[in-house]
Amino acid sequence: MPAMTEPKLIAGNANRPLATAIARRMSMHRGMNVGLVDARVERFNDQEIFVEVYDNVRGEDMYIIQPTSNPANDNLMELLIMTDALRRSSANRITAVIPYFGYARQDRRAKARTPISAKLVANLLTQAGVDRVLTLDLHATQIQGFFDIPVDNLYAAPIFSLDIMHNFKGRMDELMIVSPDVGGVARAREIAARIDAPMAIVDKRREKAGEIAEMTVIGDVAGKTCIIVDDICDTAGTLVKAAQLLADHGATEVHAYITHGVLSGPAVERIEKSVMKSLVVTDSISQPEPVKNARNIRIVPTAPLFAQAIMSTWNGTSVSSLFELETLLPIYEGMYSAA
C-alpha cells in the first residue's frame, strides 16, 4: 500500500544544490511544493557536528540527501547524526539518499591487515537507524550485500547513453566504448550494448601499488571516436594516460563519461591539458568553480533520476524501471528531446 504521508526531504551540507534540484523535480511530479525540511547542520567551535530539525517529522517518510564525498568523514558524520536526530524524533522510515557512497573502494581485503571500510560504513548507517539506502553506481555492486536493509543502486549508464546519443547524433557508427581497466568491463559493456557500439579495453600492468608499469589497448581503436567509461575519477592520472594511449593508437577523438567526479589534487589541470575533448561527470558530488569553468568538463544532472526513484520508493512502484531508456527519456525530455 502506498504511504499516506508525503515524502519529506532533508539535506546536509555535502551537496545542497542537488538536494534543492531533487525537491524542485519532485514538486513538478506532485503538483505541489516539495521543499527541504527546515533544519540546521552546523559545527561547534571544536568542529563537532550539531543538528537541529525545526519541522515536525513524527510518522513521516524521510529522505536524507547526503553524499559522503570530500570531506568524507565530516559528511558521513553529518549523515549519521541527521539519522539519529530523525530517529529520535519518531520518523516512520528513514532513507539515506547517498549519490556518492564514500569508502566504496575499500570493499575487500586486498592485502593482509587492511580493513573492509565499506562494510564498516554499512554497519554504521544501519545502527544509526537508516531503514533503506538509495545510491548511484556503487564502486562494487557486492556492497549491497554488506547491508541487511534494502539498497537501491541506481545507474548512470542510461543517462550517459541518452547523452551520447544526443551529442553524437549522426556519428554513432564512429563510436568505440572503452573500459579503462579490466575491472570496469561490465560497466563499459552495459553502455556499449545500449548504444550498439563496439568495445575496447585498456589493460594496465602494475609492478607495485600506485605505479603503472605498462598500458596496452585490447581492440582496434584506429579511426574511432573513443569514449572511456568509468565510475570514479580521482586525480585523473590513469584517465589522462589512457586517453593519450588511445590517441597514440589512432583514435580520432577521446571523450570520457565518469559517474563520480572526485577530481582531487591536480585532476582539473591534467584534464584540461590532456587530449580528451570532453569529460562528462554527474552532479553526484558538488563541484567547485574550477571544475565548472574547465573548458572540457561538463556536468549532467541526476536530480530527475533521484526524484523519480524517491517517488517510486515512496509509493511502492518499480525503481528498476528507471534502468530502461523508455522510462528515463520522458524524465529527461527537456535535455534530450532530440535524442
CA distance 80 to 201: 39
89: which 3 cell numbers? Answer: 524524533
**Cα separation of 164 and 255, whole Å?**
10
Contacts of 319-323 spanning 24+ positions with Cβ under 8 A? 319/152, 319/154, 322/154, 322/158, 323/155, 323/157, 323/158
113 Cβ contact partners less than 8 Å away, ≥ 6 residues apart:
none
Residues forming beta bridges with residue 202, ordered by sequence position: 217
What residues form DSSP beta bridges with 215?
204
Say if CB 15 and CB 99 are below 8 A apart.
yes
Question: How many other CB atoms are there within 10 angstroms of residue 129's CB atom?
Answer: 16
SS3 for 85?
A: helix
Grid cell listed for 313: 520508493
Q: Which residues contact 77 (CB under 8 A, 6 or more apart)?
A: 49
Spot the catalytic one: 119, 204, 224, 292: 204
Cα angle 196-198-204, degrees, rounded to a multiple of 5: 140
Tell me the C-alpha to C-alpha distance, in Å, between residue 137 and each of 31, 55, 133, 230, 324.
30, 32, 13, 10, 15
Query: What is the rounded distance in angstroms from the CA atom of residue 243 to the CA atom of residue 239?
Result: 6
Whether 292 is catalytic is no
Q: Which residues are tagged catalytic? A: 204
